[in-house]
């Protein structure tokens, strides 16, 4: 199978990149960028392929982090906590997704509901400072968050913590596995139906597919991936705070995906790593405010490169190298035909003005 070969090839290339990156930056920074990559991938999957613009991906990220912390304290073991940290956000995404998709919420309303859910979690977590807010042995800690939970260690050696280089390699391999998994998922019939729904939901419904169910399933996968990123983030930072749920966090995920390229898998990952690194660089000086830079970038990309960096570069490469890579060009055309943010129905959301 061509897809299998491509995926394995890409996986091997990824391993080479994984080995090469520590030459240019330290493990601590790189690990964070890799975790951001998984988070960006989760939104890149549901937005780029399912056409679901979720403004609250940070909610699943935060739930993943908190689940990991709470479960790790209660079990006094990190590995079962990691599985819960994927399962709980996925379940939450399934419930929320089913409510939204079967409720036939339009694009804008979906964005608002996910935004509001993130906000509820943010406010709630900030309000849990008191003694009475405990889950098992874990105090929720309000604004200060939960510090001091057991982190991951090598499965055969309880004293060998996954820190620095070990955590980096672990996260990177997980990122590669997630990327490969998404690639194979999209090549399956499930993936084709999902892309079909993105292109024309009504047509897929008329063909007899339960489009709401498919979207819910995709949303669930995205929630699980974001939860995994949250758990890894918790391992990296060794503390979880309500800041995980903040609007700024949600904004950043969207910016990563948009700048990397909506409708690609590797684009969001590159976008996250690039912007995470930029943020790190700009954070070291205090002349220009960090969010100013991010904002200018976002505006410029929306106005000038609405398809993101990767498709723009790929289109450029395709123009410079004519006659090579037919399959690649076909995929580019498919990506070009889908412009993010343009819904086929145009003015979504209950216009009382009519037309």
Partner 1 sequence: MAQLAVFVLDTLYSVAVLVLISAGLGIIFGMVRVINLAHGEFLVLGGYSAITAHGLGLNIWLSMLVVAPLVVGMFGVVVERLIIRPLYGRLVNTMLATWGLSLVMVGGLNMIFGNTTTGIPLPVGGFSVGGYQVSGYNLLLIVLAALQMFVIWLVLGCTRFGLLACGTMQNASMSAAFGVNSSRVYMLTFACGAALSGLAGGVLAPLIGLTPGGGANYIAKAFITVISGGASVVSGLVASAGLFGTVSQIFTAVATPIAGELALLVVAILLLRALPSGISGRYFRNRI
Binding stretches for partner 1 (CB under 8 A) = 53, 99-100, 103-109, 111-113, 115-117, 119-120, 123-124, 127, 247-248, 251, 254-255, 258, 288-299, 302-303, 306, 340-343, 346-355
Shortest distance in whole angstroms from residue 178 CB to partner 1 = 25
Residue with tokens 């498709």: 311
Name which of 91 and 251 has its Cβ closer to partner 1: 251
Q: For residue 314, what are its two tokens?
A: 């790929």
Shortest distance in whole angstroms from residue 125 CB to partner 1 = 11
Shortest distance in whole angstroms from residue 11 CB to partner 1 = 32
Name which of 142 and 196 has its Cβ closer to partner 1: 142
Shortest distance in whole angstroms from residue 139 CB to partner 1 = 18
Name which of 66 and 172 has its Cβ closer to partner 1: 66
Name which of 1 and 352 has its Cβ closer to partner 1: 352
Nearest CA-CA partner of 308 in 328, 345, 276, 338: 338
Name which of 87 and 251 has its Cβ closer to partner 1: 251
How far apart, in whole angstroms, are the C-alpha atoms of residue 104 and residue 99?
A: 9
Which residues sit opposite 154 in a β-bridge? 157
Shortest distance in whole angstroms from residue 269 CB to partner 1 = 19
How far apart, in whole angstroms, are the C-alpha atoms of residue 118 and residue 250?
A: 8
Shortest distance in whole angstroms from residue 83 CB to partner 1 = 29
Name which of 157 and 342 has its Cβ closer to partner 1: 342
- Alpha helical stretches, state H, the chain: 2-20, 27-48, 57-75, 78-102, 107-126, 164-187, 189-199, 201-206, 211-237, 247-260, 266-283, 290-304, 309-320, 326-337
Q: For residue 62, what are its two tokens?
A: 């935060």
How far apart, in whole angstroms, are the C-alpha atoms of residue 326 and residue 60?
A: 38
How far apart, in whole angstroms, are the C-alpha atoms of residue 196 and residue 204?
A: 7
């Amino acid at each position: 199978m061509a897809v299998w070969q491509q995926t394995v090839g890409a996986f091997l290339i990824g391993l080479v990149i994984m080995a090469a990156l520590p030459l240019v930056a330290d493990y601590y920074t790189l690990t964070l960028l890799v975790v951001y990559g998984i988070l960006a991938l989760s939104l890149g999957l549901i937005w780029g392929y399912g056409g679901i613009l979720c403004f609250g991906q940070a909610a699943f990220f935060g739930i993943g982090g908190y689940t990991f912390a709470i479960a790790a304290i209660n079990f006094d073991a990190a590995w079962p906590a990691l599985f819960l940290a994927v399962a709980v956000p996925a379940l939450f995404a399934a419930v929320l997704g089913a409510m939204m998709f079967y409720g036939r919420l339009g694009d804008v309303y979906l964005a608002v509901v996910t935004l509001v859910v993130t906000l509820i979690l943010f406010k709630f977590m900030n309000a849990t400072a008191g003694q009475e807010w405990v889950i098992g042995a874990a105090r929720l800690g309000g604004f200060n968050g939960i510090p001091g939970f057991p982190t991951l260690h090598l499965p055969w050696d309880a004293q060998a913590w996954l820190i620095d280089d070990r955590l980096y390699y672990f996260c990177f391999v997980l990122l590669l596995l997630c990327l490969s998994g998404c690639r194979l998922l999209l090549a399956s019939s499930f993936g084709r139906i999902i892309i079909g729904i993105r292109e024309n939901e009504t047509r897929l419904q008329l063909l007899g597919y339960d489009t709401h169910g498919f979207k819910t399933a995709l949303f669930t996968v995205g929630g699980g991936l974001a939860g995994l990123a949250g758990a890894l983030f918790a391992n990296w930072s060794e503390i979880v705070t309500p800041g995980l749920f903040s609007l700024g966090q949600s904004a950043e995920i969207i910016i990563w995906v948009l700048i990397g390229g909506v409708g690609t898998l590797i684009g969001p990952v590159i976008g996250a790593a690039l912007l995470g690194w930029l943020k790190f660089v700009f954070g070291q000086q205090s002349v220009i405010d960090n969010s100013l830079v991010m904002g200018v970038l976002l505006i410029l990309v929306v106005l000038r490169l609405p398809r993101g960096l990767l498709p723009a570069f790929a289109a450029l490469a395709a123009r410079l190298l004519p006659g090579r890579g037919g399959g690649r060009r076909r995929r580019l055309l498919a990506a070009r035909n889908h412009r993010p943010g343009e819904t086929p129905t145009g003015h979504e959301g209950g216009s009382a003005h009519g037309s």
